[in-house]
Amino acid sequence: MIQKWSYPLAAVILGSSLLAACGNAQTQTEEKKPEATQPDKPAADQSATASTAPAASPELQASIDQYRKWVVDQTDQFVKATESFTTAVKAGDMEKAKKEYAPARAYFERIEPIAESLGDFDPWIDAREGDVPDNEWRGYHKLEKALWETKSVADQGKVADQLLQDVKQLRVKVESVEIDVPMLVTGAVELLNEVSTSKVTGEEERYSHNDLYDFAANVEGAHEIYKVLKPAVTAKDSALASEIEARFADLDKALAPYRKGDGYVLYTELKEDQVKKLSQSLDALAEPLSKMGKIVGG
């Protein structure tokens, strides 16, 4: 998850009430601050983009439906994988839990923008230590710390139960998620931005160093969006479509040397110039991908 949750809600409320005593004008401007620092207010964002976007053409609607089906399928598999992972944690089977951790998370990383649009699932499932107040911290990364850092899951039963419950609730919500074209277009870029801001820097999986799993999963999620939008992009700007495809292929090639078995090497095994090359390949893809919005409007 991105660092947007670093603004603690409690501090916001406290700040506002203190300022309320300091005069109206200032209060009004200051009170807007929390909103600005939390750009992922799902409901507001979604309705804003939805209201400005024209109704999707039948072709685009078909793309949306195709994507929704894929998201539901990913979430189904996410539930199963999380079930198996949390069972291992609760049984104290550290080895099994460590093995299943990264592959299970990949399902979430592929659909992250959708999950983020549905409320607090991202901080519940994917917050890193320090993203939220310590007493609210839960989810995968809390278990990551237990597995790799403190090396004990003895007291993690509750965290595991809560995680599974959150993931199951996500599955329920995904059924009714509103998806429109702007969401897809921005979602694809957001997925790559996730990679740029945390995965490529090794900050996401700070205990397990499984960042490349997340890297690949985010890219796969963006690729899935591109695939469903490809006919529309090609129709509007075929040069852009070929550019995007070439860059996806380049990035795939850049990642290839780090595949190991079913997964990836640890982030800590990468050399500085290898990280730089991955990061630059990602930027090379994200730039043309950010122009997919062309399919909407003139």
Partner 1 sequence: MNDKHLANTTANKITRREALKLAGVGGIGLLLGATGVNSLLPSPPKNEQTSATPTGADEVIPFYGKHQSGIITPMQDFICMGAFDLTTTSLGDVRSLFQSWTQAAARMTAGKNVDEESDNALLPPVDTGEAMGLRPMKLTITFGLGASFFDERFGLASKRPAPLVDLPRFNSDEMRKEWSGGDIVVQVCANDPQVAFHALRNLARIARGKAVLHWLQEGFQRTSASDPTGSTPRNLMGFKDGTNNPQVNDPATANEVVWAHTAESPAWMAGGSYMVMRRIRMRIEVWDRSSLTDQENTFGRHRLTGAPLGKANEFDELELDRQDAKGKPVIPVDSHVALAHMEGKVKILRRGYSYSSGMDLKTGQLDAGLLFICFNRDPRKQFIPMQQKLASVDLLNEYITHVGSGLYACLPGASEGGYIGDTLF
Contacts with partner 1, residue ranges (CB under 8 A): 52-53, 182, 185-186, 243, 246-247, 280, 283-285, 287-288, 290-291, 293-294, 296-298
Listed in sequence order, the DSSP H helices in 91-176 are: 94-110, 112-117, 121-126, 140-144, 157-174
What gap in Å lies between CA 48 and CA 54, rounded to an integer? 12
Pick the closer one to partner 1 by CB: 186 or 208: 186
Pick the closer one to partner 1 by CB: 261 or 298: 298
- The structure tokens listed for 32 are 């807007």
Q: Which residues of 250-271 are buried (b: 16+ CB within 10 A; e: fewer)?
A: ebeebbeebeeeebbebbeebe
Give the chain's length. Answer: 298
Identify the CA nearest to 213 among candidates 259, 174, 253, 178: 259
What gap in Å lies between CA 250 and CA 214, rounded to an integer? 18
DSSP string, 171-182: HHHHTT----HH
Pick the closer one to partner 1 by CB: 139 or 182: 182
Pick the closer one to partner 1 by CB: 38 or 290: 290
Rg for the chain, CA atoms, rounded: 20
SS3 label, residue 295: helix
Answer whether 52's CB lies under 8 Å from 185's CB: no
Q: How far is the CB of 51 from partner 1 (least distance, A)?
A: 12
Q: How far is the CB of 280 from partner 1 (least distance, A)?
A: 4
Q: How far is the CB of 177 from partner 1 (least distance, A)?
A: 19
Pick the closer one to partner 1 by CB: 118 or 292: 292
Q: How far is the CB of 297 from partner 1 (least distance, A)?
A: 5
Answer whether 192's CB lies under 8 Å from 185's CB: no
Pick the closer one to partner 1 by CB: 188 or 216: 188
Q: How far is the CB of 146 from partner 1 (least distance, A)?
A: 33
Q: How far is the CB of 182 from partner 1 (least distance, A)?
A: 6
- The structure tokens listed for 106 are 């990949």
Q: How far is the CB of 287 from partner 1 (least distance, A)?
A: 4
Identify the CA nearest to 217 among candidates 101, 132, 61: 101
Pick the closer one to partner 1 by CB: 208 or 281: 281
Q: How far is the CB of 247 from partner 1 (least distance, A)?
A: 6
Identify the CA nearest to 71 among candidates 115, 111, 116: 111
Pick the closer one to partner 1 by CB: 93 or 287: 287
